[in-house]
Amino acid sequence: MTDDEFRALYERYRDPLFRFAWRLTGSPQVSEDIVHDCFVSLFKGRFDGSRASLQTYLYAAVRNLTRKHYRDSGRAFEPPAPEIPDALDQVVSDEISEQVRRAVDGLPMLQREVLLLFEYEDVPLEEIAAIVDADPGAVKSRLYRAREGLRKSLMSAKGVTK
């Protein structure tokens, strides 16, 4: 891969991978490190195109590096509420956005990661299944449970019981 090709891939995938890592970790600094390590592994030639698409490889690498981060730090793979950088603070300052963010953060990690990939990053279900190493049916089930969890959380935040 030439330097220009690598740079083009970096430009294309850096922001979506960062958003995914940030939503999983809650830390912009840790997310930067994870995305950096992801591209280092790509640069070192660890990608095998016969096993998965490049996008699948990159998202799976971010997911696995996030798990490694939590394992190495001795913490469970359930991150704290995200630290919101100043630039993003303006984007999520609206009360509804904040409630949605808290509801998403409150989801179990397996549900959260499929919801983030599907709803925020527009990754197809089959590719999510490859990223999280699960059957498509399990991914659909996690996505359904995540949406139900969000619905219940947002309804209770509004004081609606059902």
In a domain, 97, yes or no: yes
In a domain, 35, yes or no: yes
Provide the whole-model pTM. 0.65
pLDDT digits (tens, 9 = 90+) for 95-136: 667 788 888 889 999 999 999 999 989 999 999 999 999 999
In a domain, 162, yes or no: no
Domain encompassing residue 116? 3-157
Instruction: Name the domain count of the chain.
Output: 1
The enclosing domain of 53 has a CATH number of 1.20.140.160
In a domain, 116, yes or no: yes
Contacts by residues 109-114 (CB-CB < 8 Å, ≥ 24 positions apart): 109/24, 109/77, 109/78, 110/142, 111/142, 111/143, 111/145, 111/146, 111/149, 112/23, 112/24, 112/146, 113/24, 113/63, 114/139, 114/142, 114/143, 114/146
* Calpha distance 37→159 (Å, rounded): 43
pLDDT digits (tens, 9 = 90+) for 133-144: 999 999 999 999
In a domain, 100, yes or no: yes
In a domain, 149, yes or no: yes
In a domain, 122, yes or no: yes
In a domain, 11, yes or no: yes
Asked whether the CA dihedral 68, 143, 92, 97 is positive or negative, the reply is negative
* Calpha distance 58→2 (Å, rounded): 18
Task: Quickly list DSSP for 111-129.
Answer: HHHHHIIIIIS---HHHHH
Contacts of 22 (CB under 8 A, 6+ apart): 28, 31, 82
pLDDT band at 92 (very low <50, low <70, confident <90, very high): very low
